[in-house]
Amino acid sequence: MPSLDSTPPAPPATNRRIETLDVLRGVALLGILLVNIEFFTRPIKAVALGFDSSLEGVDHAVALAIHILLQGKFYSLFSMLFGMGFAIMLARAAEQGSGFFARYARRILVLGLIGLLHALYVWSGDILLTYALFGAVMLLFFRRTPARRLPIWAGVFLAVPPALLWLMALALSGPNVPPEMVESMQLQHEGFVASVASADQVLALGSFSEVNVQRRGDLDFMLSSLAFFGISILGYFLIGAWFVRSRLILDSAAHLAWFRRVAVLGIGLGLPLCIAGFWLMQGESPMLPTRGMAGASTLSLLGNLLMCLAYLSGIVLLVHSQRMQAMLQRLAAAGRMALTNYLLQSLVWTWAFYGYGLGLYDQVPRWAMALGAVLFFALQVIFSQRWLSHFRMGPLEWLWRCLTYLQLQPLRGKPNATD
């Protein structure tokens, strides 16, 4: 194990901000909002219950399209971007001969505190605290990992959830399984469904303090699931770091043929896998580990990974298309303020839907929610452009940087190439 004070030899890395990453963040923000908006009107625990089969007509079609095309793909992309950011900061610190460990530790500590406040007082589906926790793992154990080993470790962490599901499913399908164990799991499932229904009522009708009590319970649920499902996020971090260490994302113009192949193969293989995984999951309970559920989860995980890589590759190709430059620059503005925009999405939509706000919970059709998400993101793009015409970074990005560097950072003025 390398010492904490050692820094790896860095590949040549530019000190200029990489606009491709900002565009990717902007697109990921839209994809995440389209997925998350469902869970602004469903308890976060309902994630474990899978697709909402009660929807009908246009609402069902919209929800199904989002489930197949977006769910699981854009949080993966956002996670890869976090890993890319880690690798770029590490390389720049090595180039400049500056310290990295303490500065990055402060960075993820601040991110974790923001995420904790977000989870406890805004929305239970927070991802920032999880990123901070696994960012600490990256800092402690993967700073010097050679580029060729990063995909191997990523595969290990991505394989953990389906492997555990298969072990549980096979154990429970054997001839010597005590009936009491199966009955106990079914009772736990029924209790979980009841807790989701109870949370539904609290979010729809509860006061701010009552919803906060629910959020604290939801946080326990989210943290307890990290060891089982959340560990795949670490795999996506490592894939992102590999994109930087292999120079694919730093020298993307030199690797366009590679990105074209990945875009075609990712959609060609990933989409059928996602459809097959969804089809196999019908009639299965995500809370009860059966062979069918384990198989469906495995197919979905592979499909999500392939489609995420396809989306990433497609966006990189668009970045190098002259026809798309104006639109992509707008998306890049939103991506430069990803933290601010992500938290703003939660603040606005929980206030709109929850009982202590406008109380629109269960009042808006699913198709209208998706349309509202797109329109809201368009407003965020405009807001980001206007803000960055006067300030170097978003307000929360500025606060994050000040606390990371333990000194006030310049805010006024247009962004420069190194912000």
Per-residue pLDDT of the chain (419 residues; tens, 9 = 90+): 333 333 443 443 445 678 899 999 999 999 999 999 999 999 998 888 888 888 999 999 999 999 999 999 999 999 999 999 999 999 998 888 778 999 999 999 999 999 999 999 999 999 999 999 999 999 999 999 999 999 999 999 999 999 998 988 888 776 677 777 777 777 887 888 899 999 999 999 999 999 999 999 999 988 888 877 789 999 999 999 999 999 999 999 999 999 999 999 999 999 999 999 999 988 777 667 888 888 999 999 999 999 999 999 999 999 998 777 778 888 999 999 999 999 999 999 999 999 999 999 989 999 999 999 999 999 999 999 999 999 999 999 999 999 999 999 999 877 765 66
Residue 243 and residue 84 in contact, taking contact as beta carbons nearer than 8 Å: yes
**CA-to-CA dists, residue 242 to 113, 233, 311, angstroms:** 27, 14, 17
What single DSSP character describes residue 11? P
Closest CA to 115 of 405, 396, 419: 396
What single DSSP character describes residue 113? H
Q: What is the C-alpha to C-alpha distance for residues 385 and 387, in angstroms, rounded to an integer?
A: 6
Tokens of 278: 């969804």
What single DSSP character describes residue 391? B
Question: Which amino acid is it at 334?
Answer: A
Residue that the structure tokens 């062979």 belong to: 291
Residue that the structure tokens 């996602």 belong to: 274
Q: What is the C-alpha to C-alpha distance for residues 256 and 313, in angstroms, rounded to an integer?
A: 9
Q: How far is C-alpha 202 from the geometric centre of its chain's CA atoms?
A: 26
Q: What is the C-alpha to C-alpha distance for residues 274 and 395, in angstroms, rounded to an integer?
A: 38
